[in-house]
């Protein structure tokens, strides 16, 4: 007898559901787990359906709000497609990121609603994407965040209604240091400078390498008001605690200006400081020549 290979064939359909590595499930609208395939058991790290039935579907969600949004869509449209959510694995506690596609199945006799769905595990993909994203927003030499991250951060801070303070730091005579000691020594100095700056601020504040010998210390939220105090502390501390001499300028966000505008004002303040310091060095050299015996 010829085997039927059709989705209309019950045995073919059963084999398909049973052998798919994706997680296939049936639940009630109250979250009671009725049945799953082996792929779903593997996804949740449990040995049997009885182990999984100890939990309600909503207890497996990392964020209860995701469950509510999903149920709202199901009530409105009757289905959800590729709904991304995070589920906590009851087997080992690991959080899995999945795409859930499911639809509501009303039972005309009882009036109950059941959900039939399939879960695709994308945890590894999301972790890889996160690693790639991390590489794009960090300076490879110092490990500091880079300018690209500032665009993402500004959107978040504006949405939250948070302010920011910017301290722009530049190493003194860095170009000459590279000439005298070589670029490898210059790279090492940049790395030590980044670590020095990170020690000056709290964990929630940021150190960003802007390029060349310039770093941005960015204070956010409640720390914004202390921007001037942090800059003063770095300026007045013993210079031997720093790996190199540096100049700095700072500014705090005003009104609704962009982060770029705040940084530009800090940069202007830095330029003024450097002009003033060059003038002082010039006067010292001139004074030294006048005092030299002929």
Per-residue pLDDT, 5: 78
CA 235 to chain centre: 31
Q: What is the pLDDT of residue 242?
A: 86
Q: pTM score, two decimals?
A: 0.58
Report d(CA 36, CA 41) in Å as an integer: 7
CA 121/CA 127 separation, integer angstroms: 12
143 in Cβ contact with 197 (< 8 Å): no
pLDDT at 90: 86
Phi then psi for residue 82, to 5 deg, are 50, 50
221-242 pLDDT, tens per residue?
A: 767 778 989 898 888 876 668 8
Question: Which residues of the chain, if any, have pLDDT below 50?
Answer: 1, 291-292, 294
| Gap between the Cα atoms of 73 and 117, Å rounded | 14
Tell me the domain boundaries of the chain: 10-127, 137-291
**CA 182, CA 280: separation in Å to the nearest integer?**
28
CA quadruple 194, 197, 202, 208: dihedral sign = negative
Question: Using an 8 Å Cβ cutoff, are 249 and 271 in contact?
Answer: yes
pLDDT of residue 61: 92
Residue 97 pLDDT: 94
Same fold, 10-127 and 137-291: no
Burial code of 185-222, b = ≥16 C-beta within 10 A, e = fewer? Answer: ebeebbbebbebbbebbeeebbbbbbeebbbbbbbbee
Partnered with residue 160 across adjacent β-strands are none
Quote the pLDDT of residue 12. 86
Specify the CATH class of 137-291 in words.
alpha beta
pLDDT at 169: 95
- Contact yes or no for 270/248 (Cβ under 8 A): yes
**Confidence (pLDDT) at 39:** 94
The CATH-assigned architecture of domain 10-127 is 2-Layer Sandwich (3.30)
- Find the angle CA(5)-CA(101)-CA(41) to the nearest 5 degrees: 75
Q: How far apart are the first and last CA of the chain?
A: 118
């Amino acid at each position: 007898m010829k085997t039927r290979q059709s989705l209309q064939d019950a045995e073919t359909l059963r084999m398909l559901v049973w052998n798919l590595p994706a997680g296939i499930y049936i639940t009630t609208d109250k979250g009671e787990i009725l049945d799953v395939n082996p792929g779903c058991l593997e996804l949740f790290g449990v040995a049997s359906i009885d182990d999984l039935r100890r939990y309600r579907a909503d207890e497996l969600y990392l964020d209860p709000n995701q469950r509510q949004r999903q149920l709202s869509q199901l009530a409105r449209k009757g289905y959800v497609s590729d709904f991304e959510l995070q589920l906590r694995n009851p087997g080992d506690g690991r959080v899995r990121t999945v795409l859930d596609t499911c639809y509501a199945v009303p039972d005309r006799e009882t009036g109950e609603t059941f959900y039939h769905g399939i879960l695709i595990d994308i945890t590894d993909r999301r972790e890889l994407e996160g690693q790639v994203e991390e590489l794009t927003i960090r300076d490879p030499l110092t490990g500091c965040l880079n300018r690209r991250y500032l665009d993402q951060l500004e959107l978040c801070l504006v949405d939250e209604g948070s302010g920011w303070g910017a301290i722009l730091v530049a190493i003194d005579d860095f170009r000459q240091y590279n000439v005298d000691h070589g670029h490898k020594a210059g790279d090492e100095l940049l790395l030590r400078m980044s670590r020095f700056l990170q020690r000056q601020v709290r964990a929630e504040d940021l150190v960003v390498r802007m390029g060349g010998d310039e770093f941005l210390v960015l204070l956010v939220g409640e720390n914004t008001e202390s921007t001037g105090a942090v800059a003063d502390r770095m300026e007045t501390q013993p210079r031997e605690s720093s790996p190199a001499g540096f100049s700095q300028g700072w500014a705090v966000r005003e009104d609704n200006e962009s982060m770029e505008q705040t940084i530009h004002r800090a940069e202007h303040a830095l330029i003024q400081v450097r002009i003033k310091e060059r003038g002082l060095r010039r006067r010292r050299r001139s004074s030294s020549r006048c005092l030299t015996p002929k």
